[in-house]
Amino acid sequence: MPEDVTRRLGYRLKGAAAALRGAMDKALRTHGLTVPQYACLELLDQQPGLSNADLARGTFVTRQSMNVVLRGLEAEGLITRPATSDHGRALPARLTDAGQHRLDQARSAVYSIDQRLTEAIPEHRRAQFLDDLDRAAAAVAGSQR
């Protein structure tokens, strides 16, 4: 008889990720943002001028998906990008004042979710848990090469 799949680490990790994504989707919907849009705004707040490729890597989406995200944020006036680039094809994005305002409003909702997630792990185990997650991600990424 095969092992119960619900007892596997990957299954449990996927369940935790789905719960996090669902909570974030719900919280961000009230701010008119999706999770990739919010993540993009956060990254641009921390590192203005990132390219589409940089943002795609940082938000765990494809470059094609990030193009859609950036066009939507640009259409809403939340980011700006130059029409042309001085350096190849990269069009560095920056938050507008409206984008900063929307991010500031949404941030507390997302940070509240993150705080609940953090508090679910006993404080004395958090550093080890984070290290374990990093090692697990590296092990899986290494197996894809």
Q: What is the pTM of this model?
A: 0.86
Task: Please report the pLDDT score of residue 60 as a whole number.
Answer: 92
Rounded to whole angstroms, the Cα distance separating 112 from 93 reads 27
CATH T-level assignment (fold) for domain 8-143:
Arc Repressor Mutant, subunit A (1.10.10)
Task: Please report the pLDDT score of residue 91 as a whole number.
Answer: 73
One DSSP character per residue, 15-58 reads HHHHHHHHHHHHHHHTTT--HHHHHHHHHHHHSTT--HHHHHHH
Rounded to whole angstroms, the Cα distance separating 120 from 78 reads 33
How confident is the prediction along the chain (145 residues), in pLDDT tens digits per residue? 788 999 999 999 999 999 999 999 999 999 999 999 999 999 999 999 998 999 999 999 999 999 999 999 999 999 998 876 666 556 789 999 999 999 999 999 999 999 999 999 999 999 999 999 999 999 998 865 4
Task: Please report the pLDDT score of residue 145 as a whole number.
Answer: 47
In which residue are the tokens 């994504």 written? 21
